[in-house]
Chains A and B, each alone.
Chain A
């Protein structure tokens, strides 16, 4: 079969129109994984007993297994033992898995940023009579944010790509749409070229934004 430009341009909008599904999955999971990952990072930062050890094992598990395996284990595996998962809509299930997965990476980015603030500044604040809460909110976090933002944005780019898992449980995101179109027309090359280009384009835009963010961040407090 010859590459058909006509088919390519005709199908492009059909696939691209599913971009909102992909993007909303990304945005929602980004929100949850940022919140969850930050809590995990704080638990680690304050070395909360028991929880710290638990999160360490959890993080090793998440980072040591493929996201697609986690997706299947959660959606098909856990569904056999949990009514909650069984009755879950695919969209929610994917968002849950993406959030849980990415929170482990977010936790690592945030943890490293918190640790980048030197003990000397904390000692100076404490020596003046500031409370631990004041130290973390007024001294540590403002500096950590600046360090954390660039790697966190990277995590979001990864999340955007990870959202392609959604098609595995029947969601019509851009990946799902190209699978369906190609199954109907047998024009696999065109369909998957389209979806690759869409992902690539979006990632280029996100990376561009990340570069600017990185510049802005390194210029604060100077």
Chain B
């Protein structure tokens, strides 16, 4: 199976002594939907952010799609090429506040992919429709609910047609009643799109249903890696810490 993400010996330290990520190796195949679970502060976000160099790794190499970047010798232009391989959906949406829903989705198409305004617009409208936000296309983020902003955030990520979609706790900042609409949008993508996803989440049931593979992170390394059946249905046979964690979050 074609490999879409390949991480080799990835380490990250912010202060030079405590390692947030410790020598991580990871391979993700094309069309895999990988959910990343784990207690707070174990490096899940950092791992995801190293994949697009929002966070610069201390050591190791990262390949996404066809672009490989090595921490020891990377250049700005390599990093930009790497970033064009993926797109990220953020916990706090991070929509551009000076742009409408439509303009948010169009932005990278025009500035990065150099598409014409007309082409970018037709892509934006198609994707806004897909996430159910077409009727809000001319709204600024300040006039949208969290769930609506996040769905636009998903459309913005889809627009660049990335090889890999990265989600960092896409529903954690949402009011409980809005979580469903965003999870449904992601589930729909996971089912119908031929796209590769890495998804940090605390929604264990959602991960169980949507992911084809689950990683459990602990202290900056991947402590367990398996199918949802292995990891979520039989955590006890994997590790007691995993079982403890799942008991804790499912409450």
Residues from chain A with Cβ under 8 Å of B108 in the complex: 125, 128-130
- A-B contacts at CB below 8 angstroms, number: 67
Residues from chain A with Cβ under 8 Å of B87 in the complex: 127-128
B83 touches A222 (CB 8 A): no
Residues from chain B with Cβ under 8 Å of A92 in the complex: none
A125 touches B52 (CB 8 A): no
B54 touches A127 (CB 8 A): yes
When C-beta atoms are compared, the residue in chain A nearest to B162 turns out to be A128
Q: How distant is the Cα of A222 from the Cα of B98 in the complex, in angstroms?
A: 9
Q: Tell me the minimal C-beta distance from A143 to chain B in angstroms.
A: 5
A120 touches B84 (CB 8 A): no
A221 touches B140 (CB 8 A): yes
Q: How distant is the Cα of A127 from the Cα of B79 in the complex, in angstroms?
A: 10
Q: How distant is the Cα of A94 from the Cα of B184 in the complex, in angstroms?
A: 65
B111 contact from A120, A123, A124, A134, Cβ within 8 A:
A134
Q: What 1/0 flags go to A133-157 for Cβ under 8 Å of B?
A: 0100011001100100000000000
Residues from chain B with Cβ under 8 Å of A222 in the complex: 140, 142-143
A130 contact from B95, B112, B142, Cβ within 8 A:
B112
Residues from chain A with Cβ under 8 Å of B140 in the complex: 221-222
Asked if A53 is at the interface (CB within 8 A of a chain B CB), the reply is no
Asked if A121 is at the interface (CB within 8 A of a chain B CB), the reply is yes
Q: Tell me the minimal C-beta distance from B181 to chain A in angstroms.
A: 20
Q: How distant is the Cα of A89 from the Cα of B80 in the complex, in angstroms?
A: 52
Q: How distant is the Cα of A143 from the Cα of B107 in the complex, in angstroms?
A: 15
Q: What 1/0 flags go to A208-222 for Cβ under 8 Å of B?
A: 000000000000111
Q: Tell me the minimal C-beta distance from B162 to chain A in angstroms.
A: 9
Residues from chain A with Cβ under 8 Å of B156 in the complex: 124, 128
A121-B107 CB under 8 A given contacts A128-B83, A130-B112, A131-B80: no
Q: How distant is the Cα of A220 from the Cα of B98 in the complex, in angstroms?
A: 8
B88 contact from A121, A127, A139, Cβ within 8 A:
A127
A124 touches B84 (CB 8 A): no
A124-B160 CB under 8 A given contacts A131-B80, A139-B96, A222-B142: no
Q: How distant is the Cα of A129 from the Cα of B84 in the complex, in angstroms?
A: 5
A126 touches B54 (CB 8 A): yes
Listed residue (A121, A129, A142, A221) with the most chain B CB atoms within 10 angstroms of its CB: A129
A221 touches B97 (CB 8 A): yes
Give the B-binding residues of A (Cβ under 8 A).
118, 120-121, 123-131, 134, 138-139, 142-143, 146, 220-222
A-B contact pairs, 7 of them (CB 8 A): A126-B83, A127-B54, A128-B84, A128-B87, A129-B160, A142-B98, A222-B142
Give the A-binding residues of B (Cβ under 8 A).
52, 54, 80-81, 83-84, 86-88, 90, 92-98, 107-108, 111-112, 140, 142-143, 153, 156, 160
